[in-house]
Amino acid sequence: MTLEVVKRKITGTFHFCGATRVNRLEFAHAIASIFNLNSNLIHPIKSEDFVRPAKRPKDSSLDTTKAQQQLECKPLKLNVALTLLRDEIEKKKILHQ
């Protein structure tokens, strides 16, 4: 998406992220599912119990409407993006053996 904006000399503010809105717990479970990891190791916690150096909003999702409307390259749904990532990692593993 970034390359398309640069090549087409589009201006303005775009939010580039995936097309699927998920919370951190859902994101972790999706990763575990796609990468065949043990999701029983994932445990929910309350935001206020997670110590971070800076405050974070409860909802930090981005609105990709503008990118979806104006760009040919569209944000990917989470499962599609994770599957592509997994396949790319596997391909590189095979190439480096």
Instruction: Look at residue 55 and give its three-state secondary structure.
Output: coil
CB 16 within 8 A of CB 30: no
Domain extent, residue 36, equals 2-52+61-95
d(CA 44, CA 16): 27
Find the mean pLDDT for residues 7-32: 92
CA distances in angstroms from 92 to 33, 40, 64, 86, listed in the order given:
20, 28, 30, 10
Per-residue confidence (pLDDT) for residue 47, from 0 to 100? 76
How many structural domains are present in the chain?
Answer: 1
Is a pLDDT exceeding 80 seen at residue 83?
A: yes
**Residues 26-77: tens digit of each pLDDT:** 999 999 999 999 999 999 988 777 777 887 777 888 888 899 899 999 999 9
